Homo-oligomer: A and B are copies of this chain.
Amino acid sequence: MKAKHIQYLITAALACALGFTSTITRAADPLPSWNDGRAKQSIVEFVAKVTKESSPDFVPVAERIATFDNDGTLWCEQPLYFQLAFALDRIKTLAPHHPEWKDKEPFASALKGDVKSALAGGEHALLELVMATHAGMTTQEFEQIVKDWIAKAKHPKTGRSYTEIVYQPMLELLAYLRANGFKNFIVSGGGVEFMRPWTEGVYGIPPEQVIGSSIKTKFEIRDGKPVLVRLPEINFIDDGAGKPVGINQHIGRRPIAAFGNSDGDLQMLQWTTAGSGARLALIVHHTDAEREWAYDRTSHVGRLDKALDEANAKGWTVVDMKKDWKRIFPWEK
Binding site for B on A (CB under 8 A): 62, 65, 139, 183, 192-193, 196, 200, 206-208, 210, 214, 217-219, 221, 225-226, 228, 235, 241-242, 244-245, 248-253, 267, 270-271, 274
Contacts and interface: CB of A to CB of B under 8 A. Distances in A.
Copies of this chain, whole number: 2
27 contacts: A62-B206, A65-B208, A139-B248, A183-B208, A192-B249, A193-B252, A206-B253, A207-B253, A208-B250, A208-B251, A208-B252, A208-B253, A210-B252, A217-B245, A218-B241, A219-B244, A219-B245, A219-B267, A219-B271, A221-B270, A226-B267, A226-B270, A226-B271, A228-B244, A228-B248, A235-B249, A250-B250
Contacts of A250: 208, 250
Contacts of A65: 208
Nearest to A193: B252
A252 B196 contact: yes
A207 B200 CA distance: 21
Nearest to A209: B208
Given A241-B219, A274-B225, A249 B214 contact: yes
Contacts of A244: 219, 226, 228
Smallest CB-CB A-B distances: 8 pairs: A207-B252, A219-B241, A196-B252, A208-B251, A226-B270, A219-B244, A226-B274, A226-B271
A274 B221 CA distance: 11
Contacts of A219: 241-242, 244-245, 267, 271
A251 B217 CA distance: 14
Contacts of A139: 248
Given A244-B219, A267-B226, A207 B251 contact: yes
A247 to B, nearest CB: 9
A264 B168 CA distance: 46
A248 to B, nearest CB: 5
A40 to B, nearest CB: 28
A192 B246 CA distance: 13
Given A65-B208, A208-B208, 8 more contacts: A206-B253, A208-B250, A208-B251, A208-B252, A217-B248, A218-B245, A219-B271, A221-B270
Nearest to A220: B241
A206 B244 CA distance: 18
A210 B253 CA distance: 11
A67 to B, nearest CB: 11
Contacts of A235: 249
Contacts of A248: 139, 217, 228
A193 B253 CA distance: 11
A270 B210 CA distance: 24
A250 B221 CA distance: 21
Contacts of A208: 65, 183, 208, 250-253
Contacts of A62: 200, 206
A128 to B, nearest CB: 23
